[in-house]
Chain A
Amino acid sequence: MDKVNVLVVEDTPAESDKLIAALKANNFNVVGLATSFKDALTLYHSTNPDILIIDIFLNGSPDGVSFAEAVTLSPEGAKPFVFLTSSTDRQIFERAKLTKPFSYLLKPFNELELLYAIEMALEKFYEQKDVFFGDEEDTVISDNYLFIKKGKALKKILVSDIIYIEVEDKYCNIITKNEKFVILISLVKILKLLNPKVFMRSHRNYIVNIEKVSEIVPSDNLIVLSGNHKAVISDTFKDKIISTVKTLK
């Protein structure tokens, strides 16, 4: 599992120091600190952050909102973000609110509030409500990553690293090249959110990454994946998977 990348846009050193310290303490990877609108745009394109924390006021003008607007307007590059502000000035908020999804953090804030804001931003951005704060689920799925809450910390997994998923009740075992871990998510939901052309069910309890298939052994009802991982294949899903794999190869 990897740390989540955060880009901080904040012009007050005292604030940014405190913020970065809090982020690091909670296992976030701070990929950059921008102090102006221009810096922010450059860093945004060069560092590939997962999440942005933006101070609304940069050097006295609401450039933070402008930056968020710029980010929102580039759909391929849009990322979840959190606004930071020391006032709840209504007019500024009305403008910031137009940059949906909108989540904000009012200064002064504590660690809990910071984490909550980041998690809220992820949930809102990927439109998966009630993931991190309930007991049933702990993972938000984007196109490229799974964001998983482990205890207080937030981690991410590259979707393309997943070899197969084994479902047990409410849990899913995620098997990657190097790791194996459990996330809380329902089968239905994970199937809906992952790309159906890549992740296919091979069995009631198995989802395999088609791209990782190295061999199918129909007689044993086995599917051999890269790294010599083995998954079960059932009759129901066998034909579809075989045809898909054949067309790929």
Chain B
Amino acid sequence: MSFKYNFLFFVCSVFFNIHSYAQDIALTKNLLDTEIEKKSNRYKNQKAFAKAQVAYLNKEWDSTLIFTAKQLNISNNNDDLINYCHFFRGNAFNQKKIFNEAEKEFLKVSESFPFYNLTKMFLGTIASEQKKFEKALSYFIEIENYNSRELQHIDKLNIQENIALCYMGLGKLQEAEPYFKSVIEVQKKKQDTIRLIGTYGNIANLYYERYEDTIAIKYFTKAYELSKKTKDFYSKYTAAANMSVVEENRRQYKLALTYQLEAQRWKDSVNNQSKIYEVAKIEKKLAVEQKQKEVDVLEAENKVKVAQRNGILVSALVLLALLGASVYFYREKVKSNKIITSQNEALDSLNATKDKLFSIVSHDLRSSVNALKTSNRNLVSNLETKNIDKLGGLLNSNSAIVNGAYNLLDNLLNWAMLQTKQTYFNIEEHRLFMLVEHVAFNYQALFAEKNITFINTVSKKGKILADQESLKIILRNLLDNAIKFSDLDGEISVYSSSEEDNYIQLIIEDCGLGMSEATRLELLKETSLLSKKENEDIIGTGLGIQLCKSMIKKNNGKFSIESQLGSGTKMIVSLPKPSIDGQS
């Protein structure tokens, strides 16, 4: 609402007019704004108007113009709303110093508008801004005599002062004088020092115009004196500058210079102040920018946070998957560990068995070799004493020892070959009788030694499917056993029977020691490799019988034992027959 003192009076081209005072005006303005806000609030439901109102109150003039234009474009607005719109627009144009447009807008405001007087005031100021003093004067005089309630926040002093200024502008100094004087009176009462200084300046100018220099100088001096009491730099500057001009005109150059310097000082202060304002503005701008930056930073942070959150979510999922996978693999590992452990145990026990086998085999071999050593020593001593008769017996016993050791080694070799699957193994058709004959042929000497009768009554037609060499190993072991457990003058018979359809049973029967049921079961057990040495002399490693069992199994055969302690043993090997068409 800077409709006051906006026009300058140039008496000597350096006379300064007095400006409005922010504090004072702001107060009035605030009151007015509140009033306008209150009264216009009932149109809040109109969106554009609501926005326009907010913009107006916030002094965003461009926005005000845009939104009011929008609101005006809408049909069926009521008059009051239209008045508000024009009022806002007028004021906005006025603030933007587009006076022609402002005047147009204000003129559109109808008399029913609550702030119509205010509109007139605006029109007056606009006219005076355009130096159309007469027109302005008519507006001002129109509202001059209204009482304060009708004037609504318009300071009557302002009107009077403006009238005075208008008269001055028109050169009607006589008419201006009483207005100034009445204004001064009121201002004095109010102790409104700053405005008083301004008014003193104006009235001084008036007298100066009328060349009543003495009175003018009195007012100038008054203004100057008063200005010393205020803190308003602009008032001080104006007063000092006026004094300087006055003194210069009175040719008091020295004084004029002093005032000039003072004015200059105050002007600098004003500049400083405005600089401070500018600086404050810049600071504000900077602060806003800073805030904006902070907002940006926050936004960026938010983005980063979102990204982080997503990242965390993804990594959580990945971790979960990893966890699942590791749990799965851990369980698998535990499972396989269990298997491995059980396998280890099995292997350990097998290894222990093997070690035991080693110890027994080596023990047997050592005894054999030791016996051979002793026997050889006897042989040598008998040879030295030419005791020829004993040599034969010793040699026989030597060969028996060697034979036993050989059989043991042979079984050991075959066992190893069987375990490592290095042997050639080929199942073919064979005549059982022939194979028995072949094997028995090597035992003739042994039979003779023990005077054992050997009878082979295996069917000559009987054919079986087997691997030749492994079957021979089986037969050798069974015959060894039969001989071992037979008494002197015993009988060993080998015969076949074909009770089962697809098998031929080969039975090796002796009339020797026989065995207990426990021993029998022990021998037939799947895994027991070594039977206990119940009888050091004749019970061996058990390797032979184990080898037999393994090889019979590999030949797809079956093995069983029938025995009675003291009356002999039957070892029964069942081997598959070739199929009827004779093909193996």
The number of chain B residues with a CB under 8 A from chain A is 18
The residue on A at minimum CB distance from B413 is A87
**A171 to nearest B CB, angstroms?**
19
* B469 close to A106 (CB less than 8 A): yes
**B405 to nearest A CB, angstroms?**
15
**B579 to nearest A CB, angstroms?**
15
> With a CB–CB cut-off of 8 A, which chain B residues contact A112?
434, 437-438, 441
> Which of B417, B425, B434 has most A Cβ within 10 Å?
B434
> With a CB–CB cut-off of 8 A, which chain B residues contact A237?
none
A46 interface residue (CB < 8 Å to B): no
Partner among B421, B434, B469, B582 whose Cβ is within 8 Å of the Cβ of A116:
B434
CB within 8 Å for A88 and B434 given contacts A93-B424, A112-B441, A134-B460: no
* A94 close to B424 (CB less than 8 A): yes
* A133 close to B434 (CB less than 8 A): yes
Interface of chain B residues 453 through 483 with chain A (CB within 8 A)? 460-461, 469
Number of A-B residue pairs, CB cutoff 8 Å, is 40
* A134 close to B461 (CB less than 8 A): yes
* A111 close to B424 (CB less than 8 A): no
Interface of chain B residues 192 through 211 with chain A (CB within 8 A)? none
> With a CB–CB cut-off of 8 A, which chain B residues contact A90?
421-425
> With a CB–CB cut-off of 8 A, which chain A residues contact B422?
88-90
**A165 to nearest B CB, angstroms?**
27
> Which of A92, A133, A135 has most B Cβ within 10 Å?
A133
**B379 to nearest A CB, angstroms?**
24
What are the interface flags for A66-101 relative to B under an 8 Å C-beta threshold, 1 for contact and 0 otherwise?
A: 000000000000000000000011101110010000
A129 to B417, CA, bound (A): 31
Interface of chain A residues 198 through 228 with chain B (CB within 8 A)? none
> With a CB–CB cut-off of 8 A, which chain A residues contact B426?
93, 97
B431 interface residue (CB < 8 Å to A): yes
Partner among A88, A92, A94, A110 whose Cβ is within 8 Å of the Cβ of B442:
A110
What are the interface flags for B430-447 relative to A under an 8 Å C-beta threshold, 1 for contact and 0 otherwise?
A: 010110011001100000
**B221 to nearest A CB, angstroms?**
139
A94 to B422, CA, bound (A): 11
**A211 to nearest B CB, angstroms?**
36
* A88 close to B423 (CB less than 8 A): yes
**A104 to nearest B CB, angstroms?**
8
Interchain Cβ contacts under 8 Å between A and B, 5 examples: A90-B421, A90-B425, A112-B437, A116-B434, A134-B461
List the 10 shortest-distance A-B pairs measured between CB atoms, nearest first.
A93-B424, A88-B424, A88-B423, A112-B441, A110-B441, A112-B438, A90-B424, A113-B438, A133-B431, A90-B422
Q: Given contact pairs A94-B424, A106-B469, A110-B442, enumerate 8 new A-B contacts (beta carbons under 8 Å).
A: A88-B422, A90-B425, A93-B426, A110-B438, A110-B441, A112-B434, A112-B438, A133-B434
Interface, chain B (partner A; CB < 8 A): 417, 421-426, 431, 433-434, 437-438, 441-442, 460-461, 469, 582
